[in-house]
């Protein structure tokens, strides 16, 4: 079985059935790419599964500890299960990669992390035990928490249990704030729940220490550290200048998700509107925590503790253990979370279902037209018949274009999406011209017996990688209710320079961010695959959020020495949100493509500038896996 770990939470995914370059969506909200081959492993040189496959490579000896196996990986290193030989107890050892150990800034951040954790002693915070340096590896030792992450148990929690978890996290934050420590990366993967239901907050590795007598900040202003879905608005804008109220926002997101099964986005509905019978006082807590402006949130975690304590009866200092869930109840809650939105629009039916449940201990089912009737325990779940996926165009559209010759042999091609003579090849999905825009709606994996190509190409135009830019107005929104759910499905809108075996793309991935990616083969036959989310050394900043509504995206390629400098821009900004020097990409030709995958997308005002080129003899229009 071929597996690959999520780069964010280290959850293992089976990827043997997926093509290299396919995008995998993890339960933590992170999307990552299937590596092309063992040779295309991450910069650490790691392959998963054995001692030799890690960056430690079996060569590290931590004095006093026996390393047993890798527990997980993250941006700050590997975490190992180890045995402390002096006491015979199991511990967790976090090790910094040797590549990062050579970077003074990363070493300083590692030292800050250990120092910060050492000052924290609390029942709901993972305790640091030791720290040190072994050869070129920095490490520190933490207590080992045997249990599951909040992500793993989230679908099993009742509202009272969710409130107890939130209270324990708030108490951990209260302790951290007393030490002027900010977590900065609170998310379900960093909340551990042991077998008794006791909660511990882990990984203060991104913590920034704010001391009254110092203005020093380790995190660069341009880098928004943390995971996007749980990040406070001010942290997205400027990660350097945040305080403990950013952690409280993250707590609010997790509480909302525990209660409703979804993260709050835009104008979200209150929890009591999503969970019938929920105490409306919970709404007030969630609203305060999720205020856009930090000044409107509680000033301290201690205030949040008091608010939650008022909602949780008979709370001890450590919080009562979570009630174990039977397999039947676990399935019931998971099913309820998946269909809660559907039930909410049925109004009286949902109330009726609860009424019947209250009157009878017998499982019941209610008919609903021609739809299936599913009984889960004593709760009725109505499953509507799914909509069919949008039909594939697999044909030509003809749009209007104007070609102008510029200096030095360059051209400017302006494309308007109204009737004309410019040929556009449209493939998977329904592609139409409406109101002067190119609209696309695509879902599912049906390619009509061929390869899935969720794109439209300018059919007769080739451009050189030595001098190329393309920009377009685009929007991306969800397919909406009624379509089948697809596990680990890709979702993106795309602007791309691509042909078979070569692509440089800008992706807008709702819920994840803007991303620059590339895939090609050098003249020497070396495969080059990557994206801006995977970069560490050449990182410009963490992924930029996808704007709401319509936004302008620009992709630029420019010859530079023995390669090409590629850059991606958003909404006319003078600085790219991501860029990368790609050696061996010079002198190539490809087409302009617009993509839409499992979304409703629109495109307008496409402008291409650069050097026109001839089709390469060994290349033709076809698909390469998305990055």
Residues of the binding site for ATP: 94
Q: Taking the CA of residue 292 as centre, how many other CA atoms within 13 Å lie in the half-sphere pointing to its CB?
A: 5
Return the DSSP state at 436: T
86, exposed or middle or buried, with CB in 10 Å at 0-12, 13-18, 19+? exposed
Annotated binding site: 94
Antiparallel, parallel or unpaired: β 128-134 and 208-209: unpaired
> What is the Cα Rg of the chain in Å?
26
| Cα dihedral across residues 323, 327, 328, 331: positive or negative | positive
Cβ neighbours for 327, distance < 8 A, ≥ 6 positions apart: none
| Cα dihedral across residues 263, 268, 269, 270: positive or negative | positive
Cβ neighbours for 373, distance < 8 A, ≥ 6 positions apart: 365, 366, 367, 382, 383
C-alpha dist (Å) from residue 526 to 309, 384, 500, 519, 563: 59, 49, 16, 11, 14
Antiparallel, parallel or unpaired: β 208-209 and 89-95: unpaired
Q: What secondary structure does DSSP assign to 497-533, as a single string?
A: EEETTEEEEEEEETTTEEEEEEEEE-TTS-EEEEETT
C-alpha dist (Å) from residue 3 to 11, 13, 24, 33, 426: 10, 5, 12, 12, 34
Question: For residues 511 and 585, what is the distance between their CA atoms, to the nearest angstrom?
Answer: 31
Question: For residues 387 and 313, what is the distance between their CA atoms, to the nearest angstrom?
Answer: 45
Q: Phi first, then psi: give them for residue 216, nearest 5 degrees.
A: -65, 135
Instruction: Copy the structure tokens of residue 151.
Output: 């992500």
Q: Which residue has the tokens 């527990």?
A: 71
Phi/psi-derived region of residue 573, left when phi > 0, alpha when psi is between -120 and 50, beta in every other case: beta
By residue count, the chain amounts to 627
Question: For residues 163 and 203, what is the distance between their CA atoms, to the nearest angstrom?
Answer: 22
Judge contact between 615 and 589, C-beta under 8 A.
yes
- Give me the torsion for CA of 94, 186, 512, 16, rounded to 10°: 40
């Amino acid at each position: 079985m071929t597996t690959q770990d999520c780069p964010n939470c280290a959850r293992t995914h089976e990827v043997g059935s997926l093509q290299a370059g396919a995008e995998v969506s993890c339960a933590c909200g992170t999307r990552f790419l299937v590596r092309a081959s063992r040779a295309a492993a991450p910069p650490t040189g790691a392959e998963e599964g054995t001692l030799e496959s890690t960056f430690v490579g079996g060569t590290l000896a931590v004095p006093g500890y026996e390393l047993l196996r890798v527990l997980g990986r993250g941006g700050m290193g590997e975490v190992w299960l180890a045995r402390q030989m002096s006491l015979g107890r199991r511990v967790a050892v976090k090790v910094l990669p040797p590549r990062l150990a050579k970077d003074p800034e990363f070493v300083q951040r590692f030292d800050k992390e250990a120092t910060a954790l050492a000052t924290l002693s609390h029942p709901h915070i993972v305790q640091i035990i030791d720290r040190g340096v072994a050869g070129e590896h920095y490490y520190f030792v933490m207590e080992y928490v045997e249990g599951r992450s909040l992500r793993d148990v989230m679908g099993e929690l009742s509202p009272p249990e969710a409130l107890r978890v939130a209270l324990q996290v708030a108490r951990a934050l209260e302790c951290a704030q007393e030490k002027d420590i900010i977590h900065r990366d609170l998310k379900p993967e960093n909340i551990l729940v042991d077998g008794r239901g006791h909660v511990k907050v882990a990984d203060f590795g991104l913590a920034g220490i704010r001391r009254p007598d110092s203005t020093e900040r380790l995190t660069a202003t341009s880098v928004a550290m943390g995971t996007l879905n749980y990040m406070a608005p001010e942290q997205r804008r400027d990660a350097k200048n945040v305080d403990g109220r950013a952690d409280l926002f993250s707590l609010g997101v997790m509480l909302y998700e525990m209660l409703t099964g979804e993260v709050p986005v835009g104008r979200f509905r209150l929890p009591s509107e999503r969970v019938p019978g929920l105490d409306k006082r919970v709404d007030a807590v969630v609203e305060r925590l999720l205020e856009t402006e930090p000044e409107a949130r509680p000033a301290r975690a201690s205030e949040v503790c008091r608010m939650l304590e008022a909602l949780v009866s008979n709370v001890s200092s450590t919080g009562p253990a979570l009630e174990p869930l039977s397999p039947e109840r676990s399935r019931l809650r998971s099913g309820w979370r998946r269909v809660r939105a559907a039930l909410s629009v049925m109004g009286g039916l949902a109330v009726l279902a609860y009424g019947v449940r209250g009157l009878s201990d017998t499982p019941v089912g209610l008919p609903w037209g021609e739809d299936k009737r599913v009984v889960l325990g004593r709760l009725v779940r109505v499953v509507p018949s799914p909509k069919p996926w949008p039909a594939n165009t697999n044909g030509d559209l003809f749009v209007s274009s104007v070609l102008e010759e510029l200096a030095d042999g360059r051209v400017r091609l302006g494309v308007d999406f109204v009737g004309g003579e410019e040929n556009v090849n449209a493939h998977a999905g329904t592609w139409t011209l409406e109101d002067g825009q190119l609209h696309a709606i695509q879902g599912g994996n049906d390619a009509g017996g061929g390869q899935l190509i969720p794109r439209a190409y300018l059919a007769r135009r080739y451009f050189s990688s030595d001098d190329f830019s393309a920009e377009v107005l685009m929007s991306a929104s969800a397919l909406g209710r009624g379509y089948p759910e697809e596990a680990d499905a890709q979702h993106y809108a795309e602007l791309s320079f691509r042909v078979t075996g070569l692509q440089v793309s800008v992706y807008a991935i709702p819920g994840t961010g803007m991303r620059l990616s590339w895939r090609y083969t050098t003249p020497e036959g070396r495969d080059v695959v990557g994206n801006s989310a995977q970069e560490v050394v050449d990182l410009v900043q963490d992924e930029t959020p996808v704007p709401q509504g319509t936004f302008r995206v620009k992709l630029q390629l420019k010859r530079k020495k023995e390669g090409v400098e590629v850059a991606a821009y958003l909404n006319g900004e003078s600085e790219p949100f991501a860029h990368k020097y790609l050696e061996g990409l010079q002198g190539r030709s490809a087409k302009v493509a617009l993509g839409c995958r499992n979304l409703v997308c629109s495109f307008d005002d496409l402008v291409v500038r650069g050097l026109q080129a001839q089709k390469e003899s060994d290349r033709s229009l076809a698909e390469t896996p998305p990055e």
